[in-house]
Chains A and B, each alone.
Chain A
Amino acid sequence: MTLTSLLPLIALALPIIGGLAALGAGRRNRRLGIAVVAGTAVTTFLITALLALAAKDGLLREMTLVQIAPPVWIVFRIDPLGTLFAATVSGLFLLALIYAFGYLPDDRRQWRFHAFAMACQGCMIGVAFAGNLVTLLVFYELFSLLSYPLITHDRTRVAVAAGLKYLVYIITGGAFVWAGIILVFHLGGEIRFLPGGLADINGSPGLVLATFACLVTGFGVKAALMPLHGWVPDAHPAAPAPFSAVLSGVMVATGVFGILRVMFEIFGVSRLIEMGVLPWLGGIAGASVLLAAARAVGEDDLKRRLAWSTISQMAYVLMAVSTIGGQAVTGAFVHITHHAFLKGGLFFCAGLVATVTGATRISQLRGLAQRMPVTSLALTVLALGLVGIPPLSGFISKWLLGLGLADAGAMVRLGVMLAGALLAAVYLWPIIYRIWLPTDDPRFAHSHSREASGWMLGILIATGMLAVILGTAATLPGFPLDLAKNAAQWLVEPPP
């Protein structure tokens, strides 16, 4: 057992321990608490980023931690897909945790938020590094439960109701995942993720199909695949903005991540084609793209609109993956990462605007640029990025997705994607022009301009710049595109 193979364990334990330490330290000395949180988050990000780079260069490790019952082991592994996701998770968490220092009132409960959020981060990294289905389930269930106190952090009636809805959806989804795992083990005698899928899954076609359906349904709840998306539009507005960002940016993607693992490393490409499930998956994802985008258009609440947009955007990923073409899968991975930072940034904006002006609805944003020019600029850049305007990061991923769909000859899905992108423009553009058009309405045109200061604005600027950098320098080695190419190749054409 070398230090390298221990790194996944360190990366997942570090935030959990750091969170507890911050809880203890922060309540006595705020500066010390901030230092602990920031230090832990940065270190975790560095470890995961380094692992991602190393995995690209061919580092593959597996570490068996403990046997919880004879056939069931807790296993961590380093591979291109997992490290890319872990790096995305810890990158977004780094931003969100620092943002939260400005967003949350400076009191004892703030440290509770940080402790839970960092525990959640650790468990999500655990999902990324999981080497078999049970390990994945362990951390999947844990972070799902740990999210509850974060969603209901504001303790309002709305938040509690949203929290309940979230729990019901997620626990039911968890039960499906659990049943699917049992079936996989029964049929395949193995729960490890293997490149190219398990060697044999013996069972009647109906049972194999049921297994796949259980797993996709279970993970689909978290991936907000319609019609399993019900918790998303309620939980996002209810949660504090830094956690909404995480919910949208990476938590929904965790569901997609689970589906990817199941598709490529449990069932395997050839078996999926044989089972004939891919068109169905593509169809459901395509419907989600359009329906969710249409709902976003009609939504006035800013955070809800963004939540609907997340459902639509994550469905792109599944739609692309359902073609199982290498190019499309690359696009899917890039989109997961780019979307995480764009959508996270938009939620940061929404939270900032709500704190400073109290505005939560899009109709209340008129003339915002007069009062908060920097915030407005960041909001605009991020929104344009999500629409897919070059040279921002969203364009890169959309381009790759489109290219991949065309490559795979999936013309209908390509059409759906373009329509979805168009709808994204329809639901995001009104935000942009409301902000920038000057208004004489006395309700909105306050004479004094007032930016939020400190943590929040800094993070906002950082996400805006990230959108530009990831867009213009996408091809640099070590950037998400590079890693995603590698991960996609590893999944679609696994090494022997």
Chain B
Amino acid sequence: MPIELHDLRPVLAPLISALCAGGVFVMGTSGRWRAIWSLAAAGLKFVIVWSMLPGTLAGSVYIFRVGEILPGLSIAFRVDAFGLFYALVTATLWVLTTVYALAYMKGSHALKRFFGFFALCISTTVAIAFAENLFTLFLFYELLTVCTYPLVIHDQDAEARRAGRKYLAYTLCGGAVILAGMLLVFHSAGTLSLAEGGILGDVDDHRVLLLIFLTLVGGFGVKAAIMPLHAWLPAAMVAPTPVSALLHAVAVVKAGAFGVVRVLYDVFGVNLLKSLGFATWLGYLAGFTIIAGSIMALRQNRLKARLAWSTISQLSYILLAASLLTPAAALAAIIHLANQAFTKITMFFVAGAIEHNTGKTHIDQLDGIGYRMPWTMAAFTIAGLSFMGVPLLAGFITKWYLSLGALAADSGGFVALMALSGLLNAAYWLPIIYRAYFRETGIPQLREETPWMLLAPIGICAGYVILLGTGAQAPLMPFSLAESAVRLAFGLEGGIP
């Protein structure tokens, strides 16, 4: 059993970001203060979250209880390995996204609103990661929806409003369904605390369990964009690029995936799910989403639309891996949270940099772009190859564990699915790379590299993709954190088979 320690840091991390967001709202008319408060929100949280890594690796769990709203409904934070893993990914990427956003959004309207809510999103995402019980998780999950809405409609034109409405409609409905599921859990288990091994062990009514499964997984599945609940995501890409990056890679979709994994491992528990067999169906649905999302991505000409559909496909890797209920697959699910985040955010940053620099948004305009922006496109190439599953890059590691997990679960068909998905990824990333470097344009391409404030986050993310693929054992890689999360969820003692 992990040692539980009372500590202020679990609540400090979200709180500090929220305070900084307040700073942006109050003093944000000045560009300099806006930048300072935004960077402070990201930077302070980054430091706090990383400072918990050594302790968590050593086996402690940090806890902070805020209080009870109603009997049984408490707000409490608990930092376990899985939560910290997600928080680390978010916190790290948020620093980069903030730097990028500061450069990208320069000169736009309503920047106070933008950066204020941007910082609030950081706060809520970390709170989601550290939530001790379903209620806290739900609370901040809903807050995240509210905080991202102003970002989605930032452009304030008709298209943005339409997308915003769609986004709200989907996610709030999802939230309502989660609420229903939560009630059922509380009614039947008497508690909402997330615990390794699950809390529904004593419930024997099969129908109630099925209903809980459908409501909770379906509710969180909206943000995880599992088909057929995905339609908000391609629409929401009208938002400015840093927001898309945030929606697609870091906060929103990952909050959904994180929620599903929590429900599977910490509400139901591995053993209960294995005996129930519901997860198999989730696996099939995720498998379908992987392929269908890729096929849709293949048909998009707008770069960000292709990225959005690819996100839908990639997120289902996490759901598929989590639903297989074997240790290796669970490892894949957790690691892919990071792998997908870094890889996809690289791509979104690149898409934004291209639009920012040249105004090009469609793939058929990208001929020769690799000579205009060599470093930027080099990063894009790395990310694309990673999604294809080329070894030494992050995507390979995901596929490796996912396939091993599938074989261990006697579902060898998913190995073929992985191979097929890799091929589909090749089919929609390679043409972009081909256009960037190999298509004749007839006109000499002038070198016009991205400004460094945009390029630096791109380069760091791309570098991390390589690091995730080669140096999983390096000191700053939270790989062992993912391993201990899996050990906790499966009650394993030694290594992961």
Contact = CB atoms under 8 A, between A and B. Distances in A.
Interface in A100-147: 134, 137-138, 141-142, 145
Interface residues of A, number: 28
Interface in A135-192: 137-138, 141-142, 145, 149, 152, 155, 160, 167, 171-172, 175-176, 178-179, 182-183, 185-186
B472 A175 contact: no
A178 B391 CA distance: 10
Nearest to A218: B419
Interface string B397-423: 101110110011000100110111011
A178 B397 CA distance: 12
Interface in B438-497: 438, 440, 469-473, 479, 483, 495-496
B476 to A, nearest CB: 15
B325 to A, nearest CB: 17
Contact of A138 (B391, B401, B415): B391
A66 B470 contact: yes
Given A69-B472, A167-B430, A186 B423 contact: no
B57 interface: no
A68 B472 contact: yes
Contact of A182 (B390, B404, B472, B473): B404
Nearest to A207: B412
Task: Classify chain B: how many residues form its interface, as a range.
Answer: 35 or more
A447 interface: no
A69 B391 contact: no
B35 interface: no
Contact of B400 (A72, A149, A175, A183): A72
B416 A70 contact: no
B422 A178 contact: yes
A67 interface: yes
B391 A183 contact: no
B415 A69 contact: no
Interface in B356-404: 385, 388-392, 396-397, 399-401, 403-404
Residue with the highest number of chain B CB atoms closer than 10 Å, among A134, A155, A179: A179
Secondary structure at the B interface, as helix, strand, loop or mixed, is helix
B426 interface: yes
Residue with the highest number of chain A CB atoms closer than 10 Å, among B396, B415, B419, B423: B419
Contacts of B401: 69
Secondary structure at the A interface, as helix, strand, loop or mixed, is helix
A141 B419 contact: no
B320 to A, nearest CB: 15
A93 to B, nearest CB: 23
Nearest to B401: A69
Contacts of B422: 175, 178
A138 B385 CA distance: 12
A141 B390 contact: yes
Contact of A171 (B400, B412, B423): B423
A370 to B, nearest CB: 39
Interface in B35-68: none
B391 A134 contact: yes
Contact of B419 (A67, A167, A176): A176
A186 B401 CA distance: 11
Contacts of A183: 407, 415
Nearest to B399: A178
Contacts of A141: 390-391
A179 B473 contact: no
A152 B419 CA distance: 26
Given A72-B400, A179-B419, A67 B472 contact: yes
B211 to A, nearest CB: 36
Interface string A400-429: 000000000000000000000000000000
Contact of A70 (B396, B415, B419, B495): B495
Contacts of A72: 400
Interface in A49-88: 66-70, 72
Contact of B404 (A66, A172, A185): A185
A182 B400 contact: yes
B407 A68 contact: no
Contacts of B415: 179, 182-183
A452 B407 CA distance: 59
Contacts of A160: 438
Contacts of B420: 175
A207 B413 CA distance: 12
Contacts of A207: 412
14 contacts: A66-B470, A66-B471, A68-B391, A68-B396, A68-B469, A68-B471, A69-B479, A70-B473, A142-B390, A155-B438, A160-B438, A179-B403, A182-B415, A207-B412
- The 5 A-B residue pairs with the shortest CB-CB distance in the complex, in nearest-first order: A186-B407, A175-B419, A138-B391, A182-B403, A179-B419
Given A70-B483, A182-B403, A183-B407, 17 more contacts: A66-B470, A66-B471, A68-B391, A68-B396, A69-B472, A70-B472, A70-B473, A70-B496, A72-B400, A138-B391, A141-B390, A155-B440, A175-B419, A176-B419, A179-B416, A179-B418, A182-B400
